Chain A
Amino acid sequence: MNPNRPTEQDLHAYLDDQLDAERRQWVSTWLQANPERAAELEAWRRDTQHLRARYANPEQWPANASLDPAAIRRRQRAGQRRWLATAAMLVMTLGIGLTGGWTVRDMMNPASPPPMADAVQAYRLFTDSVSFDGNTAIDGNTTINGNTAIDGNSVVGVSDTAVPEPGANSREKIVKLFQAHFSDGIMPPDLSAAGLEMTDARLLATDQGPAAMVVYRDRTGRQMMMYIRPPGVGHHMLEPGKRVDGQLMAQYWSKGNYNYAVVSQPDDPNAAMLEEMLRES
């Protein structure tokens, strides 16, 4: 760059009046000595003036009311309200859809019963009506496959075998029953050493196949029940758990191809023992 000559930037800044006074004077002097450059600069100045004239007085252009800031803010607020209304409507529609869908789902799929409800029902039905000391007409010779009724109230759909009294004979029959129907299931343990006798064993029918219950009774007459059944619909296996249903407690779990439950009175210490033995078998 020749320090004796203004740069292109200097010439534009001169034209645009963006030089300080001293430099402006220097460029002005230089231009007087360089008429060719001065002429070029003069052409640029004319272009600038022409441009200014062309775009002069924009405030005299026809007004456009929609460009007024107040009008724009009004439209923005209205737009926000519309947006909020649309969003609220969408939320409401979604809510109605979800609620309706859930209701229909509930209607189409009635609430599933609590786990092993059938075990609790079996306990209620058979431990109350059939007890070892009961006067019901138990046929002492009833066999596993026999359809002989325990008593006149035998439940339809239940193929049963009543074990009239504790003892080796009863135990043998129960083993046969389990071997016949629950070959890979857990056998009900012999708890006679703990003073618990098997007082009843029944084969029951479910939608998924045979189930069975075995009732134990301690010396005080308190009863508890082991229950075995196939998994529910869709081979539904149970998470281990327990629940209290009225005056009864059911402990339940799944193992192998079966669901198990021990149903007892909630404060029966033997129930925990039985459950532990079954689960560890």
Chain B
Amino acid sequence: MNPPDDDQLRELLPRLRRFAVSLTQSPSDADDLVQSTLEKAISHWQRRRPGGDLRAWLFSILYRQFIDSRRRAGRYARLMQLFTGEPQTSASAEDIVVANATWEAFDRLPPEHRALLMLVSVEGLSYREVSKTLDIPMGTVMSRLSRARRSLRELDEGEPREKRPAPSLRRLK
């Protein structure tokens, strides 16, 4: 296996940053995430599947790093709560997003839905590639995609799901 090709990585850098921003919703956090992704990719270059899609491989590292950091943050928050007896006062990025109604509907989706829509709609990955990248079964990709698109619609229209009649399309499955 060849050593990391800097040009290949540089070429994919804007897409990685874009995916990272969609997940972290903060440009500086996104760049931190991209940096840790590239560090991991360079040091784990030997483990890369020969002939595999470099972009999908990098996206999968980035997504795992993001999920791991969220878990760590969650554990930290629980630990702090244990010591202080109070919920953490500094809200997570997620809470801020949800609270801020002026933000776009997409930003108010859960990160799992944002990741899926970014990879399918913006990056144009096939469902199978998305399944591998996010490490979820194909069935989950399809059901999550359906939920993500419907949630996005509802948020965009400002209507909570409960008030809407169940779409007839759901009965087709």
Q: Which residues of A contact B (CB under 8 A)?
A: 1-2, 5-9, 11-13, 16, 18, 36-37, 40, 43-44, 47-48, 51-52, 54-55, 58-59, 61, 64, 66-70, 72-73, 76
Query: Is A58 touching B15 in the complex (CB atoms < 8 A)?
Result: yes
Q: How far is the CB of B171 from chain A (nearest CB, A)?
A: 9
Q: Is the CB of A47 within 8 A of B149?
A: yes
Q: Are A44 and B149 in contact (CB-based, < 8 A)?
A: yes
- The answer to whether A47 and B6 touch across the interface, beta carbons within 8 angstroms, is no
Residues 113-132 of B contacting A (Cβ, < 8 Å): 117-118, 120-122, 126-127
B31 and A67 contact, CB distance less than 8 A: yes
Instruction: Select from chain A the residue with minimum beta-carbon distance to B105.
Output: A47
For window 9-67 of B, CB contacts with A under 8 Å fall at 9-10, 13-15, 17-18, 21-22, 31, 34-35, 38-39, 42-43
Q: Is B4 an interface residue (CB 8 A)?
A: yes
Name the one of B31, B43, B121 contacting A16, with C-beta atoms under 8 angstroms: B121
- Given A67-B13, A72-B39, 8 further pairs, Cβ under 8 A: A8-B169, A12-B146, A51-B117, A64-B31, A67-B38, A68-B13, A69-B4, A76-B43
Q: Which residues of A contact B15 (CB under 8 A)?
A: 58
State the Cβ distance, B10 to closest chain A Cβ, in Å. Answer: 6
The complex places the Cα of A6 from the Cα of B10 at a distance, in Å, of 41
**Within the complex, which residue of A5, A13, A66, A72 is in contact with B127, where a contact is CB–CB below 8 Å?**
A13
Write the residues of chain B forming the contact surface with A, with a CB cutoff of 8 angstroms. 4, 6, 9-10, 13-15, 17-18, 21-22, 31, 34-35, 38-39, 42-43, 104, 106, 117-118, 120-122, 126-127, 142, 145-146, 149, 152-153, 156, 167-170, 172-173
Query: Is B169 within 8 A of A37, CB to CB?
Result: yes
Interface of B is mostly: helix
Given contacts A47-B152, A69-B9, A76-B39, whether A54 and B34 have CB atoms under 8 Å apart is no
In the A-B complex, list the 5 residue pairs whose CB atoms are closest, starting with the nearest. Answer: A58-B14, A58-B18, A59-B14, A69-B9, A69-B6
Q: List 13 A-B contacts (CB under 8 A).
A: A8-B142, A8-B146, A18-B126, A18-B127, A37-B168, A51-B118, A51-B122, A58-B18, A59-B14, A68-B6, A68-B13, A72-B39, A76-B39
In the complex where A8-B172, A11-B169, A55-B118 touch, is A70 in contact with B14 (Cβ < 8 A)? no
CB-defined contacts of A7 to chain B, threshold 8 Å: 172-173
Tell me how far the C-beta of B159 lies from the nearest C-beta in chain A, rounded to whole angstroms.
13
Q: Across the interface, do A72 and B31 meet the contact criterion of CB distance under 8 Å?
A: no
